[in-house]
Amino acid sequence: MTEKKKFHSVRGVRDILPPDSSLWNWFEQAARDTLETYNFREIRLPIFEDTELFARSVGAETDIVSKEMYTFQDQPADLESANEMGRGKAVSLRPEATASVVRAYIEHGMQTLPGLVKLYYLGPMFRRERPQKGRYRQFYQIGAEVLGQSDHPAIDAEMIEMLIVLLGRCKIESWTLLVNSIGDANCRPAYVALLREELRKVKNQLGADSQRRIDTNPLRVLDSKLAEEQAIVASLPKIADHLCDDCRNHFAELRRQLDLRSIPYTVDPRLVRGLDYYTRTTFEITSPHLGAQNALAGGGRYDGLSEMLGGPPAKCIGFALGEDRFIEVIQAAGSLDRATAGRPLDAFIVWLGAAAYPAAVRLARRLRQEGFRVEIPAEESKLKKALSLAERLGARFAIIVGDQEVAAGAYAVKRLADGEQRKLAESDVAGFLRG
């Protein structure tokens, strides 16, 4: 009965171990710093929300909502809730965070704040997909959203600029920016109707997925990557030719805004993105250093979402970037290894003899108060062994505290890189460690 079970992490989730965790921290700090310079502020959001929030914003018909969410009943039928409903309401682990941001915007009446509301978030998202390179069931995103009364393309362009700046900070040289406009409530319905009509004519040449999408979401057919459908997709009417004047002008201005920022881009008429709430601008940044899942970041405008969720009218644009994928690319480049490595161990305190231990403990505490990373062994060991361990732990200095040193009131501080050693009073040790 005491059969031992060997636990392992659940499929699609993973541990981020040192030293990788140092790189993650570095990256998150770089992202925060970048976004803060564009005057974004952090919003901390819940990890789970009312399932209905995602269904109404992301779209009930999307893959994300229809089959990829981790959903459970909050408050199982207990005494309190059993009377009313018999069970708690459905909540889901967030598959993305834009819905939460808009919910929070509405809930806290942020439309009354002066100017544009500029928020960023970071943290884990959850989607139950089959894992592969660059895709996990618990993955990490950093996202930014601008909400307010203006939908000027300069806002869109500035968000993209911000992303490009972050890429540069991460020394990511090769990337591709794809942009498109998918119209708005004025022009998209007519285009979708036209597209559906054209698709019906070639229906029997399409795969099962695309055939189904003719009814559920014709735009997504454009996104098909099936080789045998490419010729058909290329022949379909393009949204760019069917935008209303406002959308066409908006998209033209976006391109001008990118040009004046010297940001290279490619217009991709097939970039429709999977989530229902997008309008007008859509964009994506891809990397050649990833596998099939090559999108580093993606985003777009979602001007109608606030009202769809019962809030005030709001013009919004946002993006999310995949941390896992950024990390992957940064590591592949290898150019930031030094900058992103965790701080090394500053000092390893070697104490010899029980009589010296109290002095060693006092020294460790003092150095730590000075901000040094310090290791002091719990058990005494031979000097040779202790120095060997210090070396293997990557310590910069070893500090020998034995009877002789305590008696003399000066510790032997040895720099392991070159073997230079000095006798220093306790108050002088920190200075030597800094130098």
Partner RNA sequence: GUGAGCGUAGCUCAGCGGUAGAGCAUCGGACUGUGGCUCCGAGGGUCGUGGGUUCAAAUCCCAUCGCUCACCCCA
- Distance CA(19)–CA(335), nearest Å, equals 16
- Give the nearest distance from C-beta 163 to RNA in angstroms: 11
User: Which of 41, 203, 382, 422: binder of RNA (CB under 7 A)?
Assistant: 382
Q: Of 82-121, which residues contact RNA (CB under 7 A)?
A: 96
Q: Of 305-324, which residues contact RNA (CB under 7 A)?
A: 320-322, 324
Site string for RNA, 28-67 (x = CB under 7 A): ----------------------------------xxx---
Nearer to RNA, 176 or 404 (CB): 404
Nearer to RNA, 386 or 430 (CB): 386
Nearer to RNA, 385 or 434 (CB): 385
User: Which of 226, 267, 341, 425: binder of RNA (CB under 7 A)?
Assistant: 226
Q: Is 312 exposed, middle or buried (0-12, 13-18, 19+ CB in 10 A)?
A: middle
Q: Of 143-202, which residues contact RNA (CB under 7 A)?
A: none
What are the φ/ψ torsions at residue 335 (nearest 5 degrees)?
Answer: -80, -10
CA atoms within 13 A on the CB side of 218: 22
Nearer to RNA, 43 or 401 (CB): 401
Q: Is 354 helix (H, G, I), strand (E, B) or coil?
A: coil
User: Which of 1, 17, 208, 292: binder of RNA (CB under 7 A)?
Assistant: 292
Nearest to 123 by CA among 323, 340, 330, 331: 323
Residue 291, both tokens: 């596998």
User: Which of 167, 400, 424, 430: binder of RNA (CB under 7 A)?
Assistant: 400
Site string for RNA, 362-381 (x = CB under 7 A): -------------------x
User: Which of 84, 204, 418, 427: binder of RNA (CB under 7 A)?
Assistant: 418
- Give the nearest distance from C-beta 275 to RNA in angstroms: 6
Nearer to RNA, 168 or 245 (CB): 168
Strand ranges in 109-195 using DSSP code E only, listed in sequence order: 117-126, 138-148, 176-181
What are the φ/ψ torsions at residue 218 (nearest 5 degrees)?
Answer: -60, -30
Neighbours of 253 (CB within 10 A): 15
Nearer to RNA, 311 or 322 (CB): 322
Q: Is 322 helix (H, G, I), strand (E, B) or coil?
A: strand
Q: Is 221 exposed, middle or buried (0-12, 13-18, 19+ CB in 10 A)?
A: buried
- CA distances, 283 to each of 3, 105, 299, 321 (Å): 53, 23, 5, 12
β pairing state of 397-401 and 347-351: parallel
* Residue numbers at the binding site for RNA (CB under 7 A): 8, 11-12, 14, 62-64, 96, 127, 129-136, 139, 141, 209, 220, 223-226, 273-275, 284, 291-298, 320-322, 324-325, 352-353, 381-385, 387-392, 400, 402-405, 412, 414, 416-419, 421
